[in-house]
Structure 1
Amino acid sequence: MPFDTSLLLFWLKKLVALVVLPPLMPLLLVAAGLLLLRRRRRLGLGLAWLGVALQLLLVFPPAVGLLLAPLEAQPVLQPAAARGAQAIVILGAGKRDHAPEFGGETVNRLALERLRYGARLARESGLPVLVSGGAPTGEQPEAVLMRQSLIEDFGVTPRWVEAGSRDTRDNARLSALQLKEAGVHRVLLVTHAAHMPRARAEFAAQGLDVVPAPTAWLGSHESQDHRLALLPSQNTAYAGWYALHEWLGLIAYRLSR
């Protein structure tokens, strides 16, 4: 079996992300600080408190909001902006491996948010749809599951299925090959609002004219009770993780250009 360098790099990126993102990164700082307490007390205390402070900031709604605001600056897609688009591209967001009620694997809740909005745009516009998402570990490609969900749950049949990608850059590169072969150069790009800056940059780098169609803003307040807006929750913890993940992705994108 040939050695797959690209697959090794994919899992290396996943490992690095695991280390530098919460919840592990703040915990590692705390652990390093505690280990240093006997030899270098001031440094150890500083690292430990830094880890605690970072953990608190990444679940504190105002701090998370500051991280998300520049990422989610793209407004809702307006009909005028969509004119001239030739296709809709829906990016995968992961899958649920254990879904016995669906017969095995299925798309996860994040992918469903994108699929729902992409299906709505497809019904309103009549544009053909491309779904993009691979299978890094060799199971059923995510794009195949996305196609199945679009057909069975939303009544939309995609025209193209890009099933070889492992990350956003692959999404753009491999989708562009299929789209350009079909004469498509202007697309509505559907992904989470916080993911849109990175995704748009990757698709534009492939020579496509991208019209952002963001969905699922993480920075908006679902509760109208402003007394709760300052309280951490599982939602702000996830939003903080997502925001930091996207900022790191943007830094990696700029360094690799």
Structure 2
Amino acid sequence: MDLALTPLLFWLKKIVVALVLPPLLPLLPIVLGLLLGMRWRRLGNALAWSGVALNLLLISPPSVSWLVRQVEHAQALEADAARRAQAIVILGAGRRSHAPEFGGETVNRLALERLRYGARLARETGLPILVTGGTVRDETPEAQLMQAALREDFGLEARWVETAARDTRENARFSAVHLGAADIDAVLLVTHAMHMKRAQAEFEAAGLAVIPAPTAWLGGGEDDAGADQALPLLPSQNTAYAGWFALHELLGGLAYRWSR
């Protein structure tokens, strides 16, 4: 199955993703249980309490830490590995549409984390940069916002600006076209550590040799007591976000493998 998406399929995918991820995921059995409980009390109670339990699992540090370890790339880039690359590819991560202090719209904080690390690598290695990210609406393509942020905030120019991709698979396929035209087949791939495994698989499937350059870890290994050093000890907005991101990558990886 080809995952090149029409706008309709893109938004259908977004709806499905919203239903299978927090905060809607644990709410669905709760609501269903309350409705069924009016007729079948035991079944309704079981469903409602299962939703509560699922919500607790998705915000509790021990269970979230386990989820994070399943998907997060463990190692930072090593200098020796970076020498094999011919270019740096920075993946888009979203936009901030209302940014009046920047004149209208700009990249969001996730994209900015990737751009910051990609800019550091570019200065250290002297390698050219490709930014990739498109749009499905009448907006500025994300890669153009990334290009502007690199120029205005980091003093760097992207050599390639790939503006058509709408998901990670398209990031890989369309970037490979630009790089192939320049006889480049080995890249430093910059994305979040949580997203790296899925992104690396897609870029390798597109024919590129990938040297992972992850950034912005949400997990931090375990201390002597077995607690994740990067996550708070109690449930919080940080553990909820890490749980959402980890589940998103687990399900995304499964969907991409099934669609090959």
Partner of 1:199: 199
| Superposition deviation, residue 18 in structure 1 | 0.7
CA 1:229/1:235 → structure 2, altered by over 3 Å: closer, same or farther? closer
Partner of 1:245: 248
| Superposition deviation, residue 68 in structure 1 | 0.6
Partner of 1:216: 216
Superposition TM-score, scaled by structure 2 size: 0.93
CA contact (8 A) 1:198 1:246 kept: yes
Partner of 1:81: 81
CA contact (8 A) 1:131 1:160 kept: yes
Which structure has greater helix proportion?
Answer: 1
CA distance in structure 2 between the partners assigned to 1:234 and 1:218 by the alignment: 12
Q: Matched residues, percent identical?
A: 66
CA distance in structure 1 between the partners assigned to 2:74 and 2:172 by the alignment: 19
3-state SS of paired residue (2:6): helix
**Can you list the C-alpha shifts for 1:24-59, whole angstroms capped at 9, x where unaligned?**
111111000000112221211111011101111111
Partner of 1:183: 183
CA distance in structure 1 between the partners assigned to 2:170 and 2:228 by the alignment: 42
Match for residue 235 of structure 2 among 232, 236, 245: 232
CA distance in structure 1 between the partners assigned to 2:82 and 2:156 by the alignment: 19
CA contact (8 A) 2:82 2:188 kept: yes
Partner of 2:109: 109
CA contact (8 A) 2:232 2:239 kept: no
3-state SS of paired residue (1:131): strand
Partner of 2:48: 48
| Superposition deviation, residue 99 in structure 1 | 0.3
3-state SS of paired residue (2:195): helix
CA distance in structure 1 between the partners assigned to 2:182 and 2:25 by the alignment: 44
3-state SS of paired residue (1:214): strand
**Letter in structure 2 aligned against 1:59:** I
Deviates more, 1:69-78 or 1:114-123: 69-78
CA distance in structure 1 between the partners assigned to 2:74 and 2:183 by the alignment: 27
| Superposition deviation, residue 70 in structure 1 | 2.2
3-state SS of paired residue (1:194): coil
Deviates more, 1:143-152 or 1:65-74: 65-74
**Letter in structure 1 aligned against 2:237:** Q
CA distance in structure 2 between the partners assigned to 1:163 and 1:58 by the alignment: 34
**Letter in structure 1 aligned against 2:176:** A
CA contact (8 A) 1:61 1:232 kept: yes
**Can you list the C-alpha shifts for 1:176-219, whole angstroms capped at 9, x where unaligned?**
00000111000000000000011000000001000000000011
CA contact (8 A) 2:61 2:228 kept: no
Between the two proteins, the alignment pairs up a number of residues equal to 252
- Superposed CA RMSD: 1.8
**Letter in structure 2 aligned against 1:232:** P
Partner of 2:224: none
CA contact (8 A) 1:68 1:218 kept: yes
CA distance in structure 2 between the partners assigned to 1:70 and 1:19 by the alignment: 22
**Can you list the C-alpha shifts for 1:128-160, whole angstroms capped at 9, x where unaligned?**
000000011120000000000001111111100
**Can you list the C-alpha shifts for 1:89-131, whole angstroms capped at 9, x where unaligned?**
0000000000001010100000000000000000000000000
CA distance in structure 2 between the partners assigned to 1:247 and 1:5 by the alignment: 21
Corresponding position: 1:168 with 2:194 = no
CA distance in structure 1 between the partners assigned to 2:63 and 2:162 by the alignment: 37
Unpaired runs of 5+ residues, structure 1, are none
**Letter in structure 1 aligned against 2:254:** I
CA distance in structure 1 between the partners assigned to 2:65 and 2:236 by the alignment: 13
CA distance in structure 1 between the partners assigned to 2:21 and 2:105 by the alignment: 27
| Superposition deviation, residue 87 in structure 1 | 0.2
**Letter in structure 2 aligned against 1:236:** T
Unpaired runs of 5+ residues, structure 2, are 222-226
| Superposition deviation, residue 225 in structure 1 | 11
